[in-house]
Amino acid sequence: MTPKVVGIDTGGTFTDFVLLDEGGKLRVHKVLSTPDNPAKAVLAGLRHLLNGAAADIVHGSTVATNALLERKGAKAALVTTAGFEDVLEIGRQTRAAIYDLNVEKPPPLIPRERRIGVAERVGPQGEVLRELSDESIRTTVDALRALGVDSVAICLLHSYANPKHEDALLGAIESELDAFVTSSYQVLPEFREYERSSTTVVNAYVGPVMARYLSQLGDEVTSGRVRIMQSNGGIMSLEAAQRLAVQTILSGPAGGAVGGFALGQRAGFDNVITFDMGGTSTDVCLCAGELSRTSETVIGDVPIRVPVIDIHTVGAGGGSIAYRDPGGSLRVGPRSAGAAPGPICYGQGGTELTVTDANLFLGRLSPEHFLGGERQLEVKPISDAIASFAAQMNLSMTDAAEGIVRVANATMERAMRVISLERGHDPRDFTLVCFGGAGAMHAADLARNLGITRIMVPRAAGLLSALGMLLADVVRDYSRTLLVRAADLDDERLDRAFGELETRANTEYENEGIAAGQLLLERSLDVRYVGQGHELSVPMSADFETSFHDIHHRRFGYADPKRPTEVVNVRVRAVARTDQPPMPEHELQAADASAATLGECAIVFDGDERESLLIDRSKLQPGNAFSGPALVVEYSTTTVVPPDFHCRVDAGENLILERLS
């Protein structure tokens, strides 16, 4: 570790910075995001924190995500096996709105005129059925040159079993064209043509955008190493992120889940639900003793099959805009005021009511203590806007503001039910670890509705995603399709498959200066019942079938040990541990929190205005305790403690809110 390390999380409203200095002390900073060029906010924050000093950087970026969501990626082409040019449009038979006769599928990232079929064929066992000729390669390169594309995705049928033809095309295109080129066997060497094609195309689509951004960042930050947060909860080198941008598609939310779970464990809570409410969205993740991961996700209606932390995202954040729909109902989000113009109370020209504005009107934000007092929130424009909105809805001003908060809470509550109750977990068995700029204002309401009795608000909770990036290890995931019945799988074949992946991992890590002896290699298998169309990941062991039955029963409510199983993929997760920032534990002091009390403020709870304690979190000591109603202010967030909750400060300086019986 260099003397200083900075974690950076680019959000929709703010870009967050956490600096770990030589002595293990944390410094935090927030600047408004610059959506037109995220690097502006990143570099401005680094100049403020470092003042020219050297530091390593771990960065969670939304550049790839935004390029995909906004359809502002590269002009890309797809090279595939002749006859399979339309896989992207055919997709699967699943329909998100099965009874809607007017559904329109979003157009594919690469239109039909930029999809090129190549005369070649490889079988499912890797056998070459039709050789790829030099003439076909030349014809393909000429066609790509005529299209004038910036990027090329190569995805040939069954190349996961034999990448010979993809490799030949890759070499020829890279040598002849000035374009970003990506091949499916490098991105996703697994079966299922649609998912493999889609994932490879996403990498080609966002890759050039991400490469330009990271190149600019790398050129500006020359005094330390830059690493990028991945969607799987690990970090990767700048160079690897430029090649495999699809691996960063959920890097910001992943940092929050890593940080929330790690700090929850340090506080003694193994089962946690992480709740990250930012300016534009809310991310939730259930961790039953470990970070929950999955091998596929959907972003902007585009399926992506790469290992990711299993995060559920909804369009509810502090900047979510409230409006009256055509039927007269009060709605909130997913449209957001973002960083520009932002909520009305920011005074930057915003004119539409947001969740943040409603919280300020209800007294859940202190206008004088926003960002540690660096910024004064504007109250008068909020009252005028609430009055106008309340008249539209035929409600009182208080009911309108509380309605905005309740509708936003309902959206976030549904997200928590998806990851808990719908997957066989009782949320009452979990601690809610809340963070993000707005999370601690809404956590108590959500916990009450879900029956959760304990909430943890970490220190610097509004910047926890950035802190989580400092807690992440260097991680790479490797996989390969086998597709063989468990009864026919011999140890030699399994060891050979794992060995190939582990050799690749050792080689890639050594190229980045990490010795093989520093790696922790974790083996796992994707297993399913014969005839199933989906699989579950289980740790590799001599009795992996029993583990599969147990996991299947927990996930779906049934298992059939007599039914034959099939191993679909082998996986290796290569982990290089990083130095963890120290999180000191303190001796508990007296319960009296009066030294941290700034005075009183008025907060509305269920229509009634209540006099509440106004508490400065920076002056709270471990062991201090108090009962609600109270408003706890700090630089990065605000915590609302309702009348039916008690709050204490633990040895790690976390706020622990517990519901009174």
Distance between CA atoms of residues 420 and 411, nearest Å: 15
608 inside domain: no
Task: Name the DSSP letter for residue 578.
Answer: -
Q: Do 117 and 96 sit in the same domain of this protein?
A: yes
53 inside domain: yes
Q: Which helix (H) or strand (E) holds 553?
A: helix 544-556
29 inside domain: yes
Tokens representing residue 498 in the block: 């794992």
480-525 pLDDT per residue, tens: 999 999 999 988 999 999 999 999 999 999 988 888 788 999 999 9
Residue 36: predicted pLDDT: 81
Q: Do 50 and 25 sit in the same domain of this protein?
A: yes
Distance between CA atoms of residues 227 and 169, nearest Å: 30
Q: Do 195 and 132 sit in the same domain of this protein?
A: yes
Considering only CA atoms, give the Rg of the chain.
26
Q: Do 48 and 120 sit in the same domain of this protein?
A: no
- HSE-up of residue 39 (Cα within 13 Å, Cβ side): 13
Q: Do 144 and 245 sit in the same domain of this protein?
A: no
Distance between CA atoms of residues 491 and 569, nearest Å: 15
Tokens representing residue 382 in the block: 């909020």
> What's the number of domains the chain is made of?
3
216 inside domain: yes
Q: Which amino acid type is present at position 151?
A: S
Residue 23: predicted pLDDT: 64
Q: Do 111 and 138 sit in the same domain of this protein?
A: yes
Q: Do 77 and 192 sit in the same domain of this protein?
A: yes
CATH code of the domain in which 562 resides: 3.30.1490
pLDDT(173) > 90: yes
279-285: average pLDDT: 89
484 inside domain: yes
b or e along 593-621 (b: 16 or more beta carbons within 10 Å of the residue's beta carbon)? beebbeeebebbbeeeebebbbbebeebb
Distance between CA atoms of residues 215 and 228, nearest Å: 12
Distance between CA atoms of residues 34 and 29, nearest Å: 15
653 inside domain: no
Q: Do 565 and 479 sit in the same domain of this protein?
A: yes
For 192, the 3-state DSSP assignment is coil
Q: Do 26 and 107 sit in the same domain of this protein?
A: no
Last residue of a domain, one of 576, 600, 631: 576
Residue 555: predicted pLDDT: 84
pLDDT(2) > 50: no
282-294: average pLDDT: 92
Q: Which residue has the tokens 């870009």?
A: 15
439 inside domain: no
Q: Do 38 and 80 sit in the same domain of this protein?
A: no
Last residue of a domain, one of 544, 576, 608: 576
Residue 614: predicted pLDDT: 97
Which of 47-56, 314-323, 580-589 shows the lowest per-residue confidence on average (mean pLDDT)?
A: 580-589
32 inside domain: yes
3-state SS string for 413-429: HHHHHHHCHHHCCCHHH
What pTM value is reported for the model? 0.88
CA nearest to 387, candidates 395, 378, 376: 395
Q: Which amino acid type is present at position 552?
A: H
Q: Which helix (H) or strand (E) holds 271?
A: strand 271-277
Q: Do 172 and 51 sit in the same domain of this protein?
A: no
Distance between CA atoms of residues 592 and 595, nearest Å: 8
Distance between CA atoms of residues 541 and 525, nearest Å: 9
Question: Which range of residues forms the domain containing residue 150?
Answer: 72-208
Q: Do 184 and 119 sit in the same domain of this protein?
A: yes
88-121 pLDDT per residue, tens: 999 887 777 788 888 888 899 999 999 999 999 9
Task: Tell whether the torsion through CA atoms of 317, 400, 601 and 457 is positive or negative.
Answer: negative
Average pLDDT value over all residues in the chain: 92
Bridge partner list, 599: 614
Decide: 193 and 84 in contact? Cβ < 8 Å: yes
Q: Which amino acid type is present at position 198?
A: S
CATH code of the domain in which 176 resides: 3.40.50
CATH code of the domain in which 225 resides: 3.30.420.40
Which phi and psi angles does 588 have, rounded to 5°? -75, 135
Residue 35: predicted pLDDT: 81
Last residue of a domain, one of 145, 175, 208: 208
